Amino acid sequence: MYLLFGTSDQDDRTTVYVGQARSRLNGNGTAGRIIEHDNDRLDYYTHAVIITTSEDYFGPTEISYLEHKFYCLAVESGRYLVANGNSPSRGNVTEEKQAELDEFIEFTTIAVGSLGYKVFEPIDDAKNIDKKDSSSESKANPVSNNNILSFSGSDFSAKGRQTSDGFVVLSGSRIRKDQTISCPPSREQKVKSHQDALDNFITTKDILFSSPTTAAVFVSGRSSNGLTSWKNSKMLLSKS
């Protein structure tokens, strides 16, 4: 298994490609397959992470299952644009083997994250906490409902949350279709680059931005100060 990371030439979004490779008659394995991408549409990648086992422990069926699961995790996280054209086949593994592979996947996601690639981690920190904490205290006071901020106008209405990586505009937010003259030019490009997360200008999944201001401009289509635009139910500014 391997992961290719880079920035798409088309929209400057951070991109990942999830691939698999096995030994070939010509002697080229995973490394050879990665080099081949220099000659195709993935020539923009700059970093590669190879996922392997000792003595090639997994066969073709297991590798197909891993590729499918890693692809799905990358899509669900929403952090990177996934460059695979189609969803990889899941493969047909036994229930016993699936349990073993899922354990391998859990370990791998932690290892890849420790290298600085958060491709498998949800962009909303609270979702990570929700999955790990099922205590009665968390159920009484759900983390997912804490610290949600809102920003709305006559033609847009959005909810978001500050995270350790920046600011997340949450799924279901309605962004402004047009933009004012004062709006930074970068906003139009960001709308285009996030078309996969928009349906009639309503976000269909969480979108991560570098700051509250960048998120506010994206939502409102005008020049905005994120520290004063995003507020919670108690009307506290996000900077507080």
**Res 34: pLDDT:** 76
Strands 2-7 and 14-19 come out as: antiparallel
Q: For residue 51, is pLDDT > 50?
A: yes
C-alpha closest to that of 21 among 40, 37, 38: 37
Q: Which of 113, 123, 128 is nearest to 51 (CA)?
A: 113
Encoded tokens for 126: 């609270």
- Specify the long-range contacts of residues 19-25, CB closer than 8 Å, at least 24 apart: 19/67, 19/84, 20/63, 20/64, 20/66, 20/67, 20/88, 22/56, 22/60, 22/63, 23/56
pLDDT at residue 72, rounded to an integer: 95
- Output the pLDDT for position 176: 97
In whole angstroms, give the CA distance from residue 123 to residue 209. 10
Q: CA-to-CA distance for 71 and 197, rounded, in angstroms? A: 17
pLDDT at residue 211 is higher than 90 = yes
Distance CA 190, CA 193 (A): 5
pLDDT for 14 equals 87
The proportion of the chain whose per-residue pLDDT surpasses 90, expressed as a percent, equals 51
The answer on pLDDT for 42 being more than 60 is yes
pLDDT-based confidence at residue 213 (cuts at 50, 70, 90): very high
Q: Band the pLDDT of 73: cuts 50, 70, 90.
A: very high
> What integer best gives the mean pLDDT of the chain?
84
Under the phi-then-psi rule, with left for phi > 0, alpha for psi from -120 to 50, and beta for the rest, what region is 56?
A: left
Higher per-residue confidence, 108 vs 140: 108
The yes-or-no verdict on residue 85 having pLDDT over 90 is no
Given a cut of 80, is residue 111 above it in pLDDT? yes
Q: Please, which pLDDT band fits residue 240 given cuts at 50, 70 and 90?
A: very low
pLDDT tens digits, 117-172: 999 998 876 666 555 554 444 444 444 455 899 999 999 999 999 988 899 999 99
Q: Is pLDDT above 80 for 41?
A: no
Query: Is pLDDT above 90 for 70?
Result: yes
What confidence tier does 74 reach under pLDDT thresholds 50, 70, 90? very high
